[in-house]
A and B are shown apart, each in its own frame.
Chain A
Amino acid sequence: MKGFILSFRSEFYKSRKTAGFWSAVILPLLLCLLIFAGFYSRSDKMVMEPGMMLWVQFSGAILGVMGSLLLPMLIVFIGYSVNSIEHKADTWKTLFSLPISKFAVYSAKYFYAMFLVFLCLALFVLFTVGFGNLLGTVKPGLKFHDYNMSGVLSQLYFKLFLSSLGILSIQFLLRVLFRDFLKPMGIGFVATITGVILVANQWTYDYLFPYSHPMLALSALPQHHNHAAGSNPISVDIFTREIYISLIIAAVVFVAGYFIVLKKSVK
């Protein structure tokens, strides 16, 4: 356990000056800021909307962009960035000759990639709630203060996080296997588009395809929302079948990846 914590801290130390780390921070900030600006400029048209609808529109705008395309791409990038540090410096063999168990080194790296995705999504919640309330303050006509969506948003983004773990583990492994950027990136991109198409066409088994999971995780929302349009608050059912599939894929690839890393990293 100590080896894991030390390795995890070292991952942070190594990556804090790389684009991979900062993309997880800048992306939510930038996206929320853009949507904030959009709402700010059109605020006069939304004065009549009830607070809950405002929140749904505001967070929905952010989630819409994020969920289907940006999140998978961000994961591709994070998976790339965390491993490319070692590929570039040719440091896998050094890491594995330290007096730290090989599994601790590998799992720290994996969980660090996971942590970056978590951080990114947590910041989305924070910035969505923050900017929403800011809108309500700078434009008192908008009734953002009438409704609190932070609970639902947290659940939703947590679900998004769980749904992304399958992709993350696959991209992580791809990046370990391929030294170059293009192959994992290309595979990730094609798979993401495929995922979007599968969900859009409502293919029966789309829940088995990990790259469809973020979109599926979100697509469950409108039904709940319509159902609860009246007085009931929006409810999020976190553990749907695609989430289970995502978790299973993540676990299997994580274990398989360890043995592949041992074989591939040292020649």
Chain B
Amino acid sequence: MVISTDGLTFDFGNQTVVKSLSLQVPEGSIYGFLGPNGAGKTTTIKLLLNLLQTQQGSIQIFGKELKSNRLEILAQIGSLIEQPAIYLHLSGKENLLNRALLLQISEARVNEVLKIVHLTDAAHKKAGQYSLGMKQRLGIALALLSDPKLLILDEPTNGLDPNGIIEVRELLMKLVSEHKKTVFISSHLLAEIERMATHVGIINHGELLFQGSIHDLEAMSKPAVQIETDNTVDAANYLTRNNYTVTEITDTHIFVPYTTKQQMGNINKLLNDMGYNVYSIIKQHKDLEKLFLDITQNA
């Protein structure tokens, strides 16, 4: 595990922002850290970077205790927290050179990261004149500068247009597949990271509600057969008497867990034989977005 926390708890005054969080971030993963705004994501990230002191529980990064190995661990982490921290009176390249000076990194590497985030042409423009997307990319460049093993990115696609989001996504996937990095990325939008994340943690009100691989999450959303009839209540009762599990009844629809195509045909025949009008019968996937909402709202 690259990141492993145990019983991590953090209070601001008498408000508990993070509740006994146990994160497990495997090496080489893109770990999507999901939750609505104010769920405790940024606080968790600040704890992971030792910007906030751990009150309860422990944090291990690269298998080492964060508190006692702070500098050694931070040297291998690149981070972007909230909005990118950029000196607006300096040019994009000067921002990188300043960081390079602090981290003792060569100018060649600065030019390299400028190229990676497509800012070479705007390198000498003042960062104050950058668009939001350019600032965000410069922030990512700053995080990448030291060629860290672990990238911790807090909402890195905030304010990016669709092209920008795709660019960032491809960049991160490339970093993981070709350069063996681990990426810990927070977001309040599942759609934004479901295409790249290999692992997901869902947090709300400071509690971890789900953690596992993206396949585990997908497996939670089992397909259902959605049936539209003229009399849903009677039809549902009839299906129950015939040993079908009805999971949900609305005014217009009945839902039955999907097993096979044959099962759908059988249901259709059964209802028709009893004289119910079947207007539609379809296989339906509960999408991850809905699942995400369910998980965060039912908590």
Residues of A within 8 A of B (CB): 6-7, 9-10, 13-14, 17-18, 85, 88-91, 93-94, 96-101, 266
User: Residues of A contacting B89 with CB < 8 Å?
Assistant: 17-18
- 26 A/B residue pairs, CB under 8 Å, sorted by A: A6-B101, A7-B102, A10-B98, A10-B102, A13-B97, A14-B87, A14-B90, A14-B98, A18-B89, A85-B87, A88-B88, A89-B86, A89-B87, A90-B82, A90-B83, A90-B85, A93-B51, A93-B85, A97-B77, A97-B81, A99-B71, A99-B75, A99-B103, A100-B102, A266-B51, A266-B52
Expressed in whole angstroms, the Cα–Cα distance for A13 and B81 within the complex equals 23
Please encode chain B, from 58 to 95, with 1 for each CB lying within 8 Å of some chain A CB and 0 for all others: 00000000000001101101010111011111100010
Q: What is the bound-complex CA distance between A27 and B77, given in angstroms?
A: 42
Say yes or no for B50: interface residue by CB 8 A criterion. yes
Q: How far is the CB of A153 from chain B (nearest CB, A)?
A: 35
Quick one: given A6-B101, A10-B102, A100-B102, are A91 and B52 in contact (CB under 8 Å)? no
Q: How far is the CB of A23 from chain B (nearest CB, A)?
A: 15
Given the known interface contacts A96-B51, A99-B71, the answer about A266 and B90 at a Cβ–Cβ threshold of 8 Å is no
Contact A97 B51 (CB under 8 A): yes
Within 8 Å by CB of A91, from B71, B87, B104, lies B87
Q: How near does chain A come to B12, taking the closest CB pair, in angstroms?
A: 9
B253 interface residue, CB < 8 Å from A?
no
Instruction: Indicate if the CB atoms of B71 and A101 lie closer than 8 Å.
Output: yes
Nearest neighbor of B52 in chain A, beta-carbon distance? A266
CB–CB B88/A89 < 8 A: yes
CB distance from A9 to the nearest CB of B (A): 6
Residue of A nearest to B46 (CB): A266
Q: In whole angstroms, what is the CA distance A91 to B51 when docked?
A: 12
B interface residue count range (under 10 / 10 to 19 / 20 to 34 / 35 or more): 20 to 34
CB-based contact A10/B46 at 8 Å = no
Q: Answer whether residue B49 sits at the interface, using C-beta atoms and an 8 A cutoff.
A: yes
List the B side residues contacting A91 at CB < 8 Å.
Answer: 85-87
Known interface pairs A18-B89, A91-B85, A97-B79; 10 further A-B residue pairs with C-beta atoms within 8 A, sorted by A's residue number: A10-B98, A10-B102, A14-B87, A90-B85, A93-B85, A94-B81, A97-B74, A99-B71, A99-B75, A266-B46
Q: Given the complex, which residues of B lie within 8 Å of A89, measured CB to CB?
A: 85-88
The 8 closest A-B CB pairs, nearest first, are A99-B75, A91-B85, A94-B85, A99-B74, A97-B49, A266-B51, A99-B71, A89-B87
Q: In the complex where A85-B87, A266-B51 touch, is A93 in contact with B46 (Cβ < 8 A)?
A: yes
Which chain A positions have C-beta within 8 A of B97? 13
Q: Which of B74, B85, B94, B102 contacts A6 (CB 8 A)?
A: B102
List chain B residues, Cβ under 8 A from A10: 98, 101-102
CB-CB nearest in chain B for A92:
B85
Q: Which residues of A sit under 8 angstroms from B98, Cβ to Cβ?
A: 10, 13-14
Chain B residues with CB under 8 A of A94: 79, 81, 85, 142
Q: Tell me the B residues contacting A by CB distance below 8 Å.
A: 46, 49-52, 71-72, 74-75, 77, 79, 81-83, 85-90, 94, 97-98, 101-104, 142
CB proximity of A114 to chain B, nearest CB, Å: 20
A101 to B85, CA, bound (A): 19
Minimum Cβ distance to chain A for residue B142 (Å): 8
B81 touches A93 (CB 8 A): yes
Instruction: Find chain A residues with CB under 8 A from B50 CB.
Output: 97
Collect the chain A residues with CB atoms within 8 Å of residue B94's CB: 13
Rounded to whole angstroms, the CA-CA distance of A68 and B97 in the bound complex is 40
Taken together as a complex, chains A and B put the C-alpha atoms of A6 and B71 apart, in Å, by 15
On chain A, the residues within 8 Å of B77 by CB distance are 97
B88 surroundings in chain A (CB, below 8 A): 88-89
Q: How far is the CB of B55 from chain A (nearest CB, A)?
A: 14
**Residues of chain A within 8 A of B82, CB atoms compared:** 90
Complex interface: chain B residues within 8 A of A13 (CB): 94, 97-98, 101
Cα(A266)–Cα(B53), bound, Å: 10
Considering the chains assembled together, what is the distance between the CA atoms of A89 and B83 in angstroms?
9
Most buried by B among A90, A91, A94: A94
A43 to B72 Cα, complex, angstroms: 65
A93: chain B residues at CB < 8 Å are: 46, 49, 51, 81, 85
Docked Cα-Cα span, A226 to B104, in Å, equals 55
* Minimum CB–CB distance for B90 against chain A, Å: 7
C-alpha spacing A10/B142, complex, angstroms: 15
Task: Look across to chain B and name the residue whose beta carbon is closest to the beta carbon of A88.
Answer: B88
Which of these, A9, A18, A96, A101, contacts B101 with CB under 8 Å? A9
CA distance A10 to B101 in the complex (A): 7
What residues of chain B lie closer than 8 Å to A99, measured between beta carbons? 71-72, 74-75, 103
Q: Please, which residues of chain B bring their CB within 8 A of the CB of A18? A: 89
- Least distance between B99 CB and chain A CB atoms (Å): 8
**B72: min CB distance to chain A, Å:** 8
The smallest C-beta distance from B296 to any residue of chain A, in angstroms, reads 24
Inter-chain CA distance A9–B97, complex, in Å, is 12
* A91–B75 CA distance with the chains assembled, in angstroms: 18
Q: Which residues of A contact B71 (CB under 8 A)?
A: 99-101
How far does the Cβ of B68 sit from chain A's closest Cβ, in whole Å?
14
A165 to chain B, nearest CB (A): 26
Chain A residues lying within 8 Å of B87, measured Cβ to Cβ, are 14, 85, 89, 91
